[in-house]
A and B are shown apart, each in its own frame.
Chain A
């Protein structure tokens, strides 16, 4: 565990281009350890792009260029000696649409352990990991008798919880969430938010959201972005009550977005 005082994610003058289009412009920020930080801003402001930099999944597409610095857990993730596999092990990601793999519930949860172990893990280790992870996301009661059901047949809310649960056996430090509730109904959203609160402290959570009310309810700190730039980064309540930047104020008032 890293020292709570040092930020989990630090970026300095981060620029990113998709081909010729510049999606991030000189973004510098410190994301605090153990808190929930939300990224808000209108569509196309670069919040998802920024999130996808933190575990370098952006680079799947060959036409992405990045300059600047990102330090995750005090390690520059663009250093040549960085292992993407290890980075992604400690920085988990939850996607907009729940995307459990087309395997059983059980195999989804232990997928990470299987791919990251040098020798095949024992049945007992796996069983224990499944129960622990599913308990942590409040799915154990619902699914303990259906562990071998195909995960893609679950309700969306359960799928999304499962997508969080499958990160946990890898003991990540950071969990990135890209609009995790946008495919869910009100109850599902409430359940995921509750889950975020219960995971807070143990994990640093960064959540991209379109929903300002959600950012306000569910996050400790809030970053407002516009046209690829970081406009404002403060405690959530301060940002919503007394925004410093007029653009932030206009956005949270709903003048544009």
Chain B
């Protein structure tokens, strides 16, 4: 039998605590706690701050009498510097962004998921490590370098092989963007496949499945949420990418009729024109409004990806 412990606020206990924990230690701990807390919520502060700032710059344009939101969203006429009548329609750029992203995904999804399956299920340890390093290297190439490759190498090849009049177009941008999205799709896709419990593989193998049946009937269904999240993050990358597509797509405000047409994307438009628009002008504010549109698009895509990833964890 040990004696009953003294109550927490008895003088003896307080004395022991005070002796054990000097003032500076207690203060130090409090301040570190505070710092960790601030860095924890700083991400939220920054995201909100950016959104508020962009919105603040954009909102006044909604009040201008010759600006209409529906024309902004649904008109293809972009003449921000016309003397006679300025028109701000970004539909052509929305079409540009979507066409380039769509083509990029058509190329990147099969390659990315194929590579993820190969890495997770087929190759040996050594090959996997090597390939992962190379894929990460691919992800680390600066986007302006990709743009440069699109502008110089790819555009010549495209002119040569397709006979298109200009080599900087949807096809060029799509391929460049695909190369940039593949590393994301591979690494998240591989994680998703690795997260499938090994007991599922054993169960299926003991039932006599072939490798292909294992992947098709067990692994892909079991990892489908993670794989979908991988694809959506790739899409997010595609929608948000600026420099590479600015250099590779030709920068023509035009709803594309084929993959060999030049287009301009929402991001490229902002990057190219913001420097020339005078601060506070209508043109300047419309560009910020385009930023709000982009922000909303990428936010929606990322939110969807996140919700899906959460869905996997719950199971």
Contacts and interface: CB of A to CB of B under 8 A. Distances in A.
B157 interface: no
B217 A116 contact: no
Interface string A12-37: 00000000000000000000000000
Contacts of A89: 207-208
Contact of B208 (A62, A84, A97, A101): A84
Q: Could you say which of B210, B217, B222 has the most chain A C-beta atoms within 10 Å of its C-beta?
A: B217
- Chain B interface, >50% SS class: helix
Interface string A151-194: 01000000000010011001000000000000000000000000
A205 interface: no
Interface in B214-236: 217-218, 221-222
B12 interface: no
A111 B217 contact: yes
A100 interface: yes
B66 interface: no
B206 A55 contact: yes
Given A115-B213, A115-B217, A99 B202 contact: yes
A103 B197 CA distance: 14
Interface string B180-208: 00000000000000000101111111111
Taking each of A55, A88, A101, A114, which has the highest tally of chain B beta carbons within 10 Å of its own beta carbon?
A: A101
B3 interface: no
A142 interface: no
B203 to A, nearest CB: 4
Interface in A98-116: 99-103, 111-112, 114-116
Given A102-B222, A103-B221, A115 B208 contact: yes
A63 B146 CA distance: 42
A167 B202 contact: no
Interface residues of B, number: 20
Contact of B203 (A60, A99, A170): A99
Nearest to B124: A62
B202 A114 contact: no
Nearest to A97: B199
A253 interface: no
B209 interface: yes
A111 B207 CA distance: 8
A167 B218 CA distance: 16
A116 B204 CA distance: 12
Given A62-B124, A97-B199, A99-B200, A114 B217 contact: yes
Given A101-B200, A101-B203, A87 B208 contact: yes
Contacts of A163: 203
Contact of A102 (B200, B202, B207, B208): B200
Nearest to B208: A88
Contacts of A87: 208
Contact of A166 (B199, B200, B202, B207): B207
Contacts of B203: 95, 99-101, 163
A86 interface: yes
Nearest to B203: A99
A46 interface: no
A85 interface: yes
Nearest to B209: A115
A102 to B, nearest CB: 5
A7 interface: no
B227 to A, nearest CB: 14
Given A102-B222, A114-B217, A57 B200 contact: no
Contacts of A84: 208
Nearest to A166: B207
A152 B200 CA distance: 11
Closest 5 CB pairs of A and B: A88-B208, A99-B199, A93-B206, A99-B203, A85-B208
Interface of B: 124, 197, 199-210, 213, 217-218, 221-222, 315
Interface of A: 55, 57, 60, 62, 84-89, 92-93, 95, 97, 99-103, 111-112, 114-116, 152, 163, 166-167, 170
Given A60-B202, A84-B208, A115-B217, 8 more contacts: A87-B208, A89-B207, A93-B206, A99-B200, A101-B218, A102-B200, A111-B207, A114-B217
